[in-house]
Amino acid sequence: MSRPIVEIDCIGCSSESWEPQTAPHPWHSRAHGGAVHSINCGSDQLHCRFECLSLSAFSIQMEKRNRLLSDLADRFVVTSPDQTARVAIDGIDGAGKTTFADELGSLIATKGRPVIRASVDGFHNPKAVRYRRGRHSPEGVFEDSYNYSALKQYLMDPLSPGGSRRYRRAIFDHVTDDIVPANDLEAPPSSILLIDGMFLHRPELLTCWDASIFLRTDFTVSVARCASRDGLSPDPAAPSNRRYVEGQRLYLRSCQPEAKATIVIDYNDLATPSIVT
């Protein structure tokens, strides 16, 4: 009897035989000749990375991913235990930061420590600021995308040692290009802030973190992930990608995030991430 075959697909898979279900995991899958094994993809997509992968091999790969996440959760749950621990999840666009942070946060919460989830995307600058150097400027992506003063004022400073613990998770909606109504929250004692986003190892943010992760991803991989998510070209050299790719290269060259991160993870393969340093 042959082993069942699994095909792993992104959310946008158009196969008529795909029957999505719900389960606590970041991806969708379908099984042919056996039960459907479905997992919730969130914002990251696999582009059919595991086409025709046996269930046993898939399980082994998932064990590696889950073990890495569990080890990280064990490490961070004891970080700065008497105050809010501030942990950054950095990486280029399409690296998989949000889903990674969500999974890590869920594991930390099961170990008994409250988790605050936030994203630097809640602190965008208005469009007029983001594009003031021109709509094709890589420097504009690197220098003007985010309001770091507001990020510190409303999120990082209140959660710093001696801070008020009254914070906001977001102040601006870049989709509507409008201010988010004020929603002040109070951090539980000894909570952990997990914030994901690009450019989190800029000099003005380095003192904000008690620990940080950089997800290392090649542009050929990350841009392909963005292409499925956003409907853009998967080619990093495509004109439509130039502004964003070159802006992120400016960051990598000038800020050297891998040299500053507490942990660097090779995240080119979503199923088998590995700690580099």
CA distance 174 to 113: 31
Instruction: Give the tens place of pLDDT for each residue, 173-201.
Output: 999 999 999 999 999 999 999 999 999 99
CATH architecture of the region 65-275? 3-Layer(aba) Sandwich (3.40)
Contact 169, 183 (CB under 8 A): yes
Amino acid found at 136: H
Instruction: Give the tens place of pLDDT for each residue, 150-164.
Output: 999 999 999 999 999
Q: Whole-model pTM?
A: 0.80
Amino acid found at 89: I
Contact 37, 62 (CB under 8 A): no
**DSSP three-state, residue 253:** helix
CA distance 145 to 102: 23
- Domain segments of the chain: what residues? 5-51, 65-275
Instruction: Give the tens place of pLDDT for each residue, 218-276.
Output: 999 999 999 878 788 999 999 999 999 999 999 999 999 999 999 999 999 999 999 99
